[in-house]
Chain A
Amino acid sequence: MSFLDLKNVTKIYPNGTKAVHETSLSVDEGEFMVFVGPSGCGKSTLLRMVAGLEDITEGDINLDGKLINEVDPSERDVAMVFQNYALYPHMNVYNNLAYGLKNRGIDKETIEQKVNDAAKLLQISDYLQRKPSMLSGGQRQRVAMGRAIVRNPKIFLFDEPLSNLDAKLRIQMRLEIKKLQQKVGVTSIFVTHDQVEAMTLADRLAVINNGIIEQLGTPIEIYDNPKSLFVAGFIGSPQMNFLDGNIKNKTLSAEGFEIKDIDSDFEGEVKLGIRPEHLSQRENSLINLKVDLVEQLGSDNLVYGQLKDKKDFCYRCPGNLTIEKGTDLSLNIENNKYYIFDKSTGKRVN
């Protein structure tokens, strides 16, 4: 059994909403697990069940070899960082950090030492006497982290802790969280709907959709090898291009071109997925793109345009190529990196 074990966990809210469907998952000690998925898919619900803030309708959750279904949140020894931080507004930073330790009956000197250590680690030593209302967003974020770290819990839970920060700070805090987790080595679960955040932070990633884990794996596995249409569309930015197609006798005919000898025995309606970064320009290739718009990101250009049948399509090319609006490009799929999904079930078939 691993450190945290969810077995067939289901959550049905009192109003009948089924937020999590028979989910099983295990997290190893020291691992950084990320739950990613669109809004309302049940990520928070799953996390809150681990924290003990929501009842578990069905299934078992084991933490460190102990069944915790019925254990009170205060007894679970988990720490959570909330989206809006939920700092204690009437206490200064020191007391925010110390409160959980006080409740555990730890003596004053030890508390002081632990708080000071955590504060130093997070570089908030200068603000210990301030109230949360006198801190900036990034500083509050650190205090919230400090409050979690100082207790040295069995597991850290983060519920979209970065979404209230501006873009630059978000990237910086993301890095810090990752470094911190590696330094402290605490098992962590991080919830986000931002796939970039998910990819960069995760040791392993659980892509959740409609209360079901669609795919579980390392970020690269999931990026390289999406198992379903949903995962393929969700992970990767800009989004994967999808074209309608049809397979007959190992030949896929999409709108305007054909791919022969595909590696699948599937026959019928499919979706063909091609990542914008897996394309390159070559004369007389399969895909003909009429360019509408070019976004220059510096390192890369994102080229948006339409195929013959007016289908929107995106191509990512190195930033040093100049591409004019209105030109016609001929694009080749590099190394045959394309994904085929059964149109009716969304399952990967190649």
Chain B
Amino acid sequence: MKIKPLQIIAHIILILGVLLMVVPIWISFASSSHDSVTILTEGMKFHIGDQLARNYNEVLNEKGGWSEEVTAAKMFINSFIMALGIATLKVVISAMSAYALVYYRFKLAVPIFWLIFITLLVPLEVRIFPSYKIVSDLGLTNSYTGLILPLVASATATFFFRQFYKTIPDELLESAKLDGANAWSFFIDFLVPLSKTMIAAMFIFMFVYGYSQYLWPLIMTTAEEYWTVVMGMKIIYTESYEGVALPRTAERFAYIILSMIPPVLVVVFLQKWFIKGLIQTEK
């Protein structure tokens, strides 16, 4: 095969792009395996040091916070539960509401759709006080329900599912009907499998969205056992300024690396559905 100059240029650009993404992560990872003192005196590292196990163990299991009770491991679990809950519910609710909007031709379908769409203009940050009021009136502060529930309605996902369902030919519904499918079985047997790449994509976006929430958990949680990773990030940065101790730079890097793992896992795990959808169009 002859290599064209254009291809070489394209590859150079792609390799540069990859480096741009990967190098900072690698530096963080390498730095997280050294002594904090080494990093403070010698700067960031490109090679792996000998403190890897110690640093990560310390980050995961050291008890912190005011009560000296919450560990990073617990925060990871909290964030994971929150993100999982948000992503799952968002996908389920959006898919079902889009189903209702597209297939039940009631008169108000269009106005309702636009109403849902308009909520894009009022993200949680804008309505944070009323949301807080409602959640606290319901007695849901300091609970997973309170962390998840106000974030599960999604105009974006509803919109994407609606657009997708509209591309499914009417004959499919009609022939399913003649084959004895009811409203529920059409959704489960047809729309869900047909939109599985869509579901995977939405799930990934929504997981990352849920995982990176900061303001809402900050307001919502007073008990440290509900703290999330992103909140912990702040704690681990401010902590070192108390007293005379050295900033624990290496542990910070370890924490950052760890905090990336759950979203990366979700992407890696769902990626094969993505790819499948890209190479084999089932329309």
Contact = CB atoms under 8 A, between A and B. Distances in A.
B179 A74 contact: yes
A90 B282 contact: yes
B178 A89 contact: no
Nearest to B172: A86
Contact of A89 (B174, B182, B282): B282
Given A88-B190, A90-B194, A74 B171 contact: no
Contact of B175 (A76, A86, A103): A86
B283 interface: yes
A51 interface: yes
A13 interface: no
B249 to A, nearest CB: 51
Contacts of B176: 88, 99
Nearest to B182: A74
B193 interface: yes
A148 B198 CA distance: 31
Contacts of A133: 280-283
A143 to B, nearest CB: 12
A154 to B, nearest CB: 12
Contacts of A86: 169, 171-172, 174-175
B177 interface: yes
B177 A84 contact: no
A100 B174 contact: no
Interface string A285-319: 00000000000000000000000000000000000
A78 B176 CA distance: 12
A183 interface: no
Contacts of A88: 172, 175-176, 190
Contact of B179 (A53, A90, A103): A103
A223 interface: no
B190 A73 contact: no
Size bin of chain B's contact surface: 20 to 34
A249 B45 CA distance: 114
A231 interface: no
B185 interface: yes
Contacts, number: 64
A82 B174 contact: yes
B177 A73 contact: yes
Interface string A86-104: 1011100000000110011
A318 B230 CA distance: 89
A53 B175 CA distance: 9
B194 A103 contact: no
A99 B266 CA distance: 33
Nearest to A83: B171
B171 A84 contact: yes
Given A53-B177, A90-B193, A103 B171 contact: no
A85 to B, nearest CB: 8
A79 interface: yes
Given A53-B174, A86-B171, A99 B179 contact: yes
A110 to B, nearest CB: 15
Contacts of A100: 178-180
Contacts of B135: none
B270 interface: no
Nearest to A151: B179
A88 B189 CA distance: 10
A235 interface: no
A80 interface: yes
A94 B150 CA distance: 44
A131 interface: yes
B282 A131 contact: yes
Contacts of A52: 177-178
A51 B178 contact: yes
A52 B178 CA distance: 9
B185 A103 contact: yes
B77 interface: no
Interface string A5-28: 000000000000000000000000
Nearest to B180: A103
Interface string B166-206: 00010110111111111001000110011000000000000
Interface of B: 169, 171-172, 174-182, 185, 189-190, 193-194, 280-283
Interface of A: 51-53, 72-74, 76, 78-80, 82, 84, 86, 88-90, 99-100, 103-104, 131, 133, 147, 151
7 contacts: A53-B174, A53-B177, A74-B182, A88-B172, A89-B282, A99-B189, A100-B179
Given A100-B180, A131-B282, 15 more contacts: A52-B178, A53-B174, A74-B178, A74-B180, A80-B175, A80-B178, A86-B169, A86-B174, A89-B282, A99-B181, A103-B179, A104-B180, A133-B282, A133-B283, A147-B179
